[in-house]
Structure 1
C-alpha cells in the first residue's frame, strides 16, 4: 500500500510539472505575439518569468536592431542593457510606427525615442529632422545632453529653444538648421511666428516627452498651432509616466495607427524605492526637515515645496543653519536655474529645494532621498517627484510630510499607487530640541526674504545676485554655535 501511495504522489508531481511547463510556454508565446503588453509591471509571480523571457530574447541594443555606431555610444554612456520600455519601443519605432510609451519614471524613456531618431538620421541625414517638446526648460537641456552624447560620433547638431534666454541668440542657432530641436511649446511658437526662414515643413519626427504635463500646463493651444505647421506625414512619439484624457485626445488627433508600449499598466513607483510618511503638526515642519537632513547627513536630497516663495524661504533657513542648500524655482532667472542645477549635480550642494519645475524627467543619479515638504496637490505629481531617486535600478528613499491639513491628499496618493506607506521613525523629543535654533533661523530667513524682495525693485545688476540667495551668508554667522550639523549630532 505504501509503495502504491508513493507511486501515486510521484505521478501527481510529474503531471503538475507538465501543466506548469505548458502554462509557461503558452505565456511566453502570448508575450512574443503581443505588440502591446498591458501587464508588464503587475507585481505578480508571473512578472519574473516574463521579464526573464524578454531579457533572454533581447540581451543587448544590437538585438533590438540598433546600429553598431549607436551601440558603441550606449556603451560609452554606461548603458549596458536596454530597459523594459526600450525593449518594447525601439523595435517598433525602427519599423517606422508611431509609438505611445508608458513607463515609470527613471525607466530610460529618453533613450527609447533618441536611438530610433538618431538611427533614422544616419540612414538619411536631414536638417530640422526632429522636434522634441518638453514641459520644462531643465528637461529640455537634459534631453539635449543625451542627444549630444549619443550622437557625438556621428556629428548630430542640436538646438535648445526655451524661455528665459535671449531670442536673438536662439535664432542664430536655428538659422544653422540643426538636426534636432528640443523646445518648450511657448518659445517655439515665438520663433515660428517671428524668426524669418525658420519653419518645420520638412520635419520627420515629433516627440512629446512628459506628454501629459505638456497638455496640463495650458500648452494645449500652442500644441495645436505646432501641429498645424508640421507635416502630417511624420512619425509621432508620446512618452510619459502617466496618461490623462487630454493625452488620449491628442493621440487620436496626431497619431497614425500607433503602437502602445506599456511597461506600467498602473500608476506605480519602482520596487527599489523605500517610501515613508511623517504625520506632524504644520508649525513644526521646518524642525522635522532639519532633523531628517541631520539624521541622514551625507546623503543628497531633493526637497519639493509647493510654491517658489517657500522653496526660497526654506533654502535660506537651511543655509542659516550651515546646511548647503540651493533653491530651484520658476521665479529665478534661467542662468541661475541652470547654475543651481549644475551645483547640485556636481555635489557642491547637498540639498536642492525645488518646486514642480524639477519634478519631471530630470536624471540626477546621486539623489539618495526625496522629501515632499509640501504634499503635491495632484496625486500623479507624487509619482514624478519620488521618481527623482531610485532611477535605472538604483535604490532610494522618499519621505512625505503629512500635516493635519493634508490627510485627504495623502489618502489619494496611497489609493493611486495602491499601497499603504509606513511611518518614518522619528523621536519627537529630539526634534523639539532643535526648535529654538530653527526658530532663530526662520527669523533671519524672513529678514533675508524681505531684503531680496527690495533688491528686485532696484536696477537689474542687483537682481541676479539676489536670485538664489547665495549672497546671504552673513546672517548665518549670527546664529550661535557655528555649524549646525555637528552641534545637532552631539545633542542626540
Structure 2
C-alpha cells in the first residue's frame, strides 16, 4: 500500500490570516489601531507564537498592560492558543500578588511575560538573575494609556533594560499619533495598521443620552435597571467610593450587583469579574479600571452613570459591549452639568445621540425606596471605614459625608435641558 504524500505546510496567507496580521509577521514594528472587540489580542499573540515556534528559547516576549485584569486575560489567550506548543507564561502584576511567588515563576524561564509596568520594573531592580536582555518582542496593549505620564517613568526604565534590536507592537482603539508619546516607545520604521478611524464606535452599537436632574440621578438609574432585568449591564462611575456605595445600594434594592475598583485586592477584583462573567451577577458597577481591553462577550448594555473625563474614555467604556460583531446598547446619563460634554462627544463621534425615554411616574414611586437604600449603604460604609481607624478612615468619612450631600442642588426643570440641547 502506497504511503500518502505528506501535505505541504500551508502559509499564513493560505490559512486566511488577515492583512494586518500578515503585516505583523514581517517583523516590522507595528502601530495597530482597531475598534474594541475586533481581535487585537490575537493580532499579536498569533505572530509571537509563530516566531517562538521557529526560534524556541528562554524569555521571548513581554506584554505590558495597564491593569492586572487585562494582564490575566492576555495571558489566558497565550495559554489557550499556545497550549499545543507547551509555552510557559508568567503574569507579573501588582496588587496583593506575592513577589516571592512571582520571582519563582521568573526563575522557571517563561517564554512569555505579561505584566503591569510597575511590578515588572520592581522585579528588574530586585529579583536576582532576572533580566530582559534577550527579549525579542515587546508589546504595549492599550498603548495610549501606557504611554501617558502615569506609566511614563516605568516604561522609560523598562525600555532601558531591553535590547534595541527587538520588534515592538503598540495596540489600542484610540492610539494617537502624538510624536512625544510614540518616541517614548523607540519604534523603528513602524508600519501603521489602522482598521478604523480614530475615536470611532462600532456600527452595531446603539447609543443614547438620558437627560435627568442630578437630584434624580440614582432613582433614574434604578428605573433603568428595572426595565433591563434580563440584561447584563456594566455601570461606569467616576470614583472608587461611589462605586462601592452604588453596588451596595443596588444589592439592597434586590439587584445582583458587584463592584470593581482599584482599592479592592487582586483576589476580590478577579472574583468580581469571574462572578459577572459567569452570570452570578448581571450588574457590574465599575470605575475606568474596567474600561480597557476586557473581553466579556455577554455584556448587553453599558451605562455611563458619570460622564467620563475625555471622549476617548467614552469610546473605551462603551467598547465593553457590541464586541466581535454583536449588538449592544450604551446610555449616557446626562445632568444639567454634563450638557457641554455631550455636545463635544457628539462632535467627536460625528453624529447625534438619540434620547432615551424614562418613566417619570415610576421615578416618583421609587424615590423613597432608593433614598432609604442610599442611607443604609452610607451607614454600612461608614461603619466599615471607621473600623479601619487612622487617617485613612477620617479621610473616607469626609468623602462619604460629601457623598451623602450629593443631589441637594436645586432641581432644574426639564425645559431647561431642552433649551440647552438646542
1:167 equivalent in alignment to 2:91: no
d(CA) in 1 for partners of 2:201 and 2:257?
Answer: 26
Alignment match, 2:255: 323
Is 1:389–2:325 an aligned residue pair?
A: no
What's 1:135 paired with? 66
The Cα shift of 1:249 comes to 3.5
- Show CA shifts across 1:413-450 (max 9, x none): 11111111001111211222110111111111111111
- Confirm whether residue 237 of structure 1 aligns to residue 162 of structure 2: no
Which residue among 193, 202, 209 is the counterpart of 2:134? 202
2:76 is equivalent to residue 145 of structure 1: yes
Query: Which residue number corresponds to residue 218 of structure 1?
Result: 150
| Unmatched segments (≥5 aa) in structure 1 | 1-61, 72-80, 459-492
- Asked if residue 447 in structure 1 is aligned to residue 379 in structure 2, the reply is yes
CA distance in 2, matches of 1:177, 1:89: 30
Q: 1:259 aligns with which of 187, 191, 201?
A: 191
1:433 matched to 2:365? The reply is: yes
- Using the TM superposition, name which of 424-433 and 329-338 deviates more: 424-433
Structure 1 residues 424 and 418: CA distance shift in structure 2, 3 A = same
- In structure 2, distance between residues paired with 1:240 and 1:253: 14
CA 1:395 to 1:104, structure 2 compared with 1: closer, same or farther past 3 Å? same
- Kindly indicate whether the alpha-carbon contact (under 8 Å) linking 2:258 and 2:283 is maintained by their aligned counterparts in 1: yes
1:271 correspondence with 2:203: yes
Q: For residues 358-416 of structure 1, what are the alpha-carbon distances to aligned partners after superposition, in whole Å with 9 as ceiling and x for unaligned?
A: 00000000000000000101111000000000000000001010011111122221111
Query: 1:89 Cα deviation (Å)?
Result: 2.1
Q: In structure 1, the residue corresponding to 2:201 is in which secondary structure?
A: coil
- Aligned equivalent of 2:40: 109
2:282 equivalent in structure 1: 350
Question: Hey, what does 1:287 align to over in structure 2?
Answer: 219
Which structure carries more helix by proportion?
Answer: 1
2:3 aligned residue: none
240-249 or 211-220, larger mean C-alpha shift? 240-249
TM superposition shift of 1:253: 5.3
- What SS class does the counterpart of residue 260 from structure 1 fall into? strand
TM-score (norm 1): 0.75
Q: Distance in 2 between matches of 1:453 and 1:217?
A: 31
User: Could you say what secondary structure the match of 1:401 adopts?
Assistant: strand
Task: Please give the alpha-carbon distance, in whole angstroms, between the structure 2 residues aligned to 1:192 and 1:203.
Answer: 13
Q: State whether structure 2 residue 181 is matched by structure 1 residue 249.
A: yes
- Secondary structure of 2:241's match? helix
Distance 1:448 1:109 in 2: 42
Larger radius of gyration: 1
CA drift at 1:217? 5.4
In 1, the alpha carbon distance for the partners of 2:312 and 2:141 equals 16
The corresponding residue for 2:411 is none
- Would the aligned equivalents of 2:147 and 2:184 in 1 still touch at CA under 8 Å? no
Deviation beyond 3 Å, 4+ runs, structure 1: 62-66, 244-249, 455-458
Q: What is the aligned partner in structure 2 of residue 118 from structure 1?
A: 49
1:188-224 Cα shifts (integer Å, max 9, x gaps):
1100000000000000000000000112251111111
SS of residue matched to 2:91 = strand
| TM-score, normalised by the number of residues in structure 2 | 0.87
- Does the CA contact (< 8 Å) of 2:34 and 2:40 recur in 1? yes
Offset of residue 451 of structure 1: 1.6
In the aligned structure 1, how far is the partner of 2:50 from the partner of 2:13? Answer: 10
Partner of 2:150, secondary structure, is: coil
Matched, 1:92 2:23: yes
SS at match of 2:193: strand
Q: Cα deviations across residues 29-88 of structure 1 (Å, max 9, x unaligned)?
A: xxxxxxxxxxxxxxxxxxxxxxxxxxxxxxxxx77448xxxx7xxxxxxxxx86xxxx23
Q: Is the 8 A contact 1:89 1:99 kept in 2?
A: no
Shift in Å at residue 266 of structure 1?
2.8
Instruction: Determine the C-alpha separation between the residues in 2 that align with 1:209 and 1:243.
Output: 10
Kept after mapping to 2: 8 A contact 1:140/1:160: yes
CA 1:125–1:294 in 2, change beyond 3 Å: closer, same or farther?
same
Aligned counterpart for 2:302 among listed residues 345, 362, 370: 370
Is residue 313 from structure 1 mapped to residue 248 from structure 2 by the alignment? Answer: no
Matches of 2:21 and 2:334 in 1, distance apart? 40
Is contact 1:212–1:247 with CA below 8 Å preserved after alignment? Answer: no
User: In 2, Cα distance between the equivalents of 1:318 and 1:177?
Assistant: 46
* Matched residue SS, 1:218: helix
Greater RCO, 1 or 2 (C-alpha within 8 Å, sep 6+) = 2
* CA deviations over 1:211-253 (Å, ceiling 9, x no partner): 0011225111111111111001110000011123557632575
Provide Cα deviations, 1:292-340, integer angstroms capped at 9, x if missing partner: 1110111000000000011101000000001010000001111101111
